[in-house]
Amino acid sequence: MRIVSTAEITANEEVASQIFLLTIFEPLIAQSAMPGQFCMIAAMPHGQTTDPLLKRPLSIHSVHNGVLSFLYRRIGHGTTLLSQRKTGECLELIGPLGQGFDLTNDNYVLVGGGMGIAPILFAAEDLYARNKKTVVVLGARNAAELPERVLRPFKAASHALYLLTEDGSLGKKGLVTDDLAEVLQQQKTDAILACGPLPMLSAVNSLAEEFGVSCQVSLEAHMACGIGACLGCALKARDGGYLHVCKDGPVVNARLVHWDL
Ligand SMILES: Cc1cc2nc3c(=O)[nH]c(=O)nc-3n(C[C@H](O)[C@H](O)[C@H](O)COP(=O)(O)OP(=O)(O)OC[C@H]3O[C@@H](n4cnc5c(N)ncnc54)[C@H](O)[C@@H]3O)c2cc1C
Ligand code: FES
């Protein structure tokens, strides 16, 4: 069920340089949201201005007591305006949108790289609460991108948490795929859930194929509508057609994606 709502910001804090944690009280969306789904969120308070015209897609990071949280990086016009929003202001949002993760197996490895860690927390919290094996591998450029504030809920919602940074300033120096390969060698895994940049997802898919493990990836594409109307979010599919990320995804079976980047 897709809900269009105007809802109140309960916090919007910079938790690391250029990275913000936004929380919005919206019990109806919170109640129906599934891990891996996203919302289209206006960057300016309802009714104030038409700039920017388009809402921005953000993955649902977590859901607690009717409050939705979103972890986002300030990169352009929309996210800059969003980062300036204050507690108590009301924003229009639409959600929950798209296809979420299939969480029906028992043994999971969840992999998040960069801002791709955002939807991974919601999936980890759901799996861990239902006593499913939840191993999480997170990667970032450096320690500053993975502050304790962001890591704490992952620690609480995983049986094992592997951290990697490109410069070695936190956890092991390397890429998420380094530890993913080790985990897949060591323990029974039914499914991998991954979100991050396309090259990372492609490498995760290669490992999944090598180890014969099913793999779901959360994809990103530029989105105008977020609801399947503009066809602007197309990515090449393996069968020669296209996947529309907002409607067929953002979470898709990795086998459906054309990985020739
Ligand atoms: C399903 C989905 C979930 C996402 N979840 C998150 C998240 O949890 N945290 C996070 O930090 N980012 C997330 N993103 C990326 C985020 O939507 C973009 O960073 C954001 O839209 C940039 O907007 P901007 O106005 O600041 O940037 P600008 O570059 O000024 O944006 C211009 C236009 O391009 C679009 N755009 C730019 N970059 C992207 C992008 N990477 N993906 C989609 N549209 C883009 C914008 O929506 C806007 O319409 C997600 C993207 C998708 C598709
Ligand atoms: S964003 Fe419009 S169809 Fe996907």
* Tens-place pLDDT, residues 159-185: 999 999 999 999 999 999 999 999 999
Domain boundary among 97, 131, 146: 97
Atom of ligand 1 minimally distant from the CA of 57: 17
Identify whether residues 186 and 88 lie together within a single domain. no
Residues touching ligand 1 (Cβ under 6 Å) are: 38, 54, 56-59, 70-73, 75-79, 115, 118, 220-223, 245, 250
124 and 21 share one domain = no
> pTM here?
0.96
Domain membership of residue 239 (yes or no) is no
User: Are 134 and 35 found together in one domain?
Assistant: no
For residue 243, the CA-to-ligand 2 centroid distance in Å is 10
- What contacts 65, CB < 8 A, 6 or more positions away? 30
Average pLDDT, the chain: 96
In a domain, 253, yes or no: no
The closest of 206, 218, 214, 204 to 248, measured between CA atoms, is 218
CA–CA separation, 227 vs 95, rounded Å?
Answer: 9
Ligand 1 pocket: which of 58, 77, 201, 227 to mutate (most atoms <8 Å of CB)?
58
Domain boundaries, position 77? 3-97
Picking from 51, 52, 69, the residue whose alpha carbon sits closest to that of residue 60 is: 69
- What ligand 2 atom has the least distance to the C-alpha of 230? 2
Q: How confident is the model at residue 50 (pLDDT cuts 50, 70, 90)?
A: confident
Q: Is 151 helix (H, G, I), strand (E, B) or coil?
A: helix
Residue 112's pLDDT band (cuts 50, 70, 90): very high
* Nearest partner of 23 among 66, 56, 52, judged by Cα: 66
